[in-house]
Amino acid sequence: MRIENRLAELGLELPQPMKTPSGLELPFPWVRLWPGRAFVSGHGPLHADGSLWSGLGKVGSDLTTEQAYGAARATALAVLASLQRALGDLDRITAWLRVFGMVNTAPGFNQTPAVINGFSDLIIELWGPEAGPHSRSAIGVAELPFNIPVEVEAEVAVD
């Protein structure tokens, strides 16, 4: 429970599962386990109770880069919560392999790497310089579901 203890030391709480809008059915798992791997579906930022992050909209017009960095950090917590539910213990993650970050951008906003750093910085802080670094893309998109500012999917190695 090293990772869970580190989260507690940082004063961070893993959120409850996402509260989806009434009538919405998601026909896929949040985490797909495969021998030696876990593939994480796209997650957005959540509050501790599983509700959507309150800072919604486009980065560069509705939110600043710094606010979106916070949303990416909250997205990391949502991903960790799903991985914890699927794996039972976050210490089973032996390496972060790939992160794909999408940012809901206003026209002309091109600081997507700085936004997704909110996700990557937390992962590297928790897993350290050996298991935390990952390959990564950070792209801007015209829209994201529910008007969330950030969505991230990932792949991790597990024992």
Query: What's the number of domains the chain is made of?
Result: 1
CA-CA distances (angstroms) from residue 54 to 57, 119, 156? 10, 18, 28
Domain annotation covers residue 131: yes
Domain annotation covers residue 69: yes
Domain annotation covers residue 50: yes
Say which CATH number the domain at 57 has: 3.30.1330.40
CA 45, CA 115: separation in Å to the nearest integer?
13
Domain annotation covers residue 15: no
The two structure tokens encoding residue 73: 């950090």
Domain annotation covers residue 3: no
Phi, psi at 151, each rounded to 5°: -135, 140
Walk along the chain (159 residues) and give the pLDDT tens digit of each residue.
899 999 999 999 999 999 988 888 889 999 999 999 999 999 999 999 999 999 999 999 999 999 999 999 999 999 999 999 999 999 999 999 999 999 999 999 999 999 999 999 999 999 999 999 999 999 999 999 999 999 999 999 999
User: The domain containing residue 42 runs over which residues?
Assistant: 36-158
Domain annotation covers residue 68: yes
Residues 118 and 63: beta-carbon distance below 8 Å: no
